[in-house]
Amino acid sequence: MAKYMLEVKDLTTKYITRNREDVYSVDHVSLTIEEGKSLGIAGESGCGKSTLALSLMGYYFPPLHYTSGSIIIDGKNISGMDPDTVRKNVLGSEVAYIPQAAMNAMNPTRKVGKFIEDVMKAHEIKMSKKEIRQMAKERFALLGLPVEALDKYSVELSGGMRQRVVIAVSTILNPKVLIADEPSSALDVTSQKMVIKMLKDMMAKGLVKSMIFITHELPLLYNVTDDIMVMYAGQIVERGSAKEMVFDPVHPYSRGLMRSILVPEEGTRDVKLTAIPGTPPNLKHPPAGCRFAERCRYATPNCRDYSVPMTDLGGGRCYRCNFSAEELREVYQRED
Ligand SMILES: Nc1ncnc2c1ncn2[C@@H]1O[C@H](COP(=O)(O)OP(=O)(O)O)[C@@H](O)[C@H]1O
Ligand SMILES: [Mg+2]
């Protein structure tokens, strides 16, 4: 039987704002990733992708708070662990997080090699400087990064190289789950491709056991991750294989997201560019019914009034809509 590297059950986390209002940015999220597999998470800005990423590490500090649910990494439940234990025993080794614009987060006054020493020290790894240096050299060579970069300051490297260096350093402890939050969004097309190639290479070489790749562009994930999950207003609205999600999205939002930004060269269908009209709901006061209803051209009063559960289509495919997959596909076919 396939082994899960990550199992998340009903995870809910919230921000408590200065005005003491609750903002549930991750709302009853459940997901699994098998060993050796990758999951892409797509959705518009503000839908909760980064909050989910932070929440998955089990490391909470205000204004973000854990509310309920469980996070199991390679069989170990990390939800409810105290922050100190998480920092020492989970971050970096169990789960590694590459934040948005990570390439700018490297200390400009430390050389890359010293930065790696800092990382090892923070994780209380008992290795001499010489051993760390050797390990870093081997890892850089394995990932096709120039070993000379170890003796450079981050500012001496190009944006793309800096990002790849940060990824190499963050994963030096071979994490079971790597979460890359928009790792290529700030880069030019060539650097983007190199970052994605390196991440896939790390997965293929088993340096990381599973991966989550976050982006606001759904089509980017085609050919990058095995599965794709779409988030809307703090909830999952659909999940399936990358192929299914790109060529046969069921949820009206996934379909809108797929059609709003198309990259024909990636093999996606050549349909016209259309943005989804409207804006997502305010998470301080989410609607009672389907969160997408207000922007959905197919919504009925029923959709607006009652919350919508997930429908499991089997084979890892699920979606959150009142209409059946057959009804939706039929409507789409008529429209095309
Ligand atoms: N520090 C914060 N305090 C209160 N609410 C926040 C904070 N950061 C984010 N949020 C809320 O969480 C939602 C999700 O944010 P985020 O996870 O950054 O989205 P994404 O990464 O998908 O763009 C936002 O729409 C916002 O309402
Ligand atoms: Mg984000």
Q: What is the mean pLDDT of residues 101-118?
A: 89
CATH of the domain at 243: 3.40.50.300
**Pocket lining: 19 vs ligand 1, CB cutoff 6 Å:** no
Between 82-91, 135-144, 194-203, the lowest mean confidence (pLDDT) is in 82-91
pLDDT confidence bin for 261, thresholds 50/70/90: low
Atom 7 of ligand 1, nearest CA residue: 15
**Pocket lining: 99 vs ligand 1, CB cutoff 6 Å:** no
Whether 154 has a pLDDT exceeding 70, the answer reads yes
| Residue 293 φ then ψ, to 5° | -50, -40
Whether 262 has a pLDDT exceeding 70, the answer reads no
CA–centroid distance, residue 136 to ligand 1 (Å)? 35
pLDDT confidence bin for 273, thresholds 50/70/90: low
- From the CA of 46, the nearest ligand is 1
Whether 268 has a pLDDT exceeding 70, the answer reads no
**Structural domain that includes position 232:** 4-335
pLDDT confidence of residue 124: 83
CA–centroid distance, residue 289 to ligand 1 (Å)? 21
Residue 229 is encoded by which pair of tokens? 């999950």
pLDDT confidence of residue 229: 98
Whether this prediction's pTM lies above 0.85 is answered by: yes
Atom 16 of ligand 1, nearest CA residue: 48
**Pocket lining: 289 vs ligand 1, CB cutoff 6 Å:** no
Residue 153 is encoded by which pair of tokens? 């300051």
pLDDT in tens, 23-52: 999 999 999 999 999 999 999 999 999 999
The per-residue pLDDT of the chain, averaged, comes to 93
- From the CA of 64, the nearest ligand is 1
Whether 168 has a pLDDT exceeding 70, the answer reads yes
**Considering its fold, how many domains does the chain have in total?**
1
Q: What is the mean pLDDT of residues 98-109?
A: 87
pLDDT confidence bin for 252, thresholds 50/70/90: very high
Collapsing DSSP to helix, strand or coil, 200 comes out as: helix
Q: What is the mean pLDDT of residues 299-327?
A: 97
pLDDT confidence of residue 270: 47
- From the CA of 47, the nearest ligand is 1
Give me the sign of the Cα torsion angle 136, 138, 139, 143: positive
pLDDT confidence of residue 2: 83
Considering only residues 16 and 87, tell me which one the structure prediction assigns the higher pLDDT: 16
Question: Are 56 and 42 in contact, with CB atoms under 8 Å apart?
Answer: no
Of the chain, the percentage scoring pLDDT greater than 70 comes to: 96
Give the DSSP per-residue string, 253-292.
HHHHHHHHS--GGGT-------PPPS-PPPTTS--SS-TT
Whether 227 has a pLDDT exceeding 60, the answer reads yes
Residues forming a β-bridge with 113:
none
From the alpha carbon of 51, which atom of ligand 1 is closest? Answer: 17
pLDDT confidence of residue 271: 45
Atom 27 of ligand 1, nearest CA residue: 283
pLDDT confidence bin for 272, thresholds 50/70/90: very low
CA–centroid distance, residue 307 to ligand 1 (Å)? 22
**Pocket lining: 50 vs ligand 1, CB cutoff 6 Å:** yes
pLDDT in tens, 202-223: 999 999 999 999 999 888 899 9
pLDDT confidence bin for 325, thresholds 50/70/90: very high
CA–centroid distance, residue 330 to ligand 2 (Å)? 34
Atom 6 of ligand 1, nearest CA residue: 15
Strand boundaries in the chain, DSSP class E: 4-16, 22-34, 38-42, 64-73, 76-77, 95-98, 177-181, 211-215, 227-232, 235-241, 311-314, 317-319
Q: What is the mean pLDDT of residues 107-136?
A: 92
Of the chain, the percentage scoring pLDDT greater than 90 comes to: 83
Collapsing DSSP to helix, strand or coil, 24 comes out as: strand
CA–centroid distance, residue 13 to ligand 2 (Å)? 15
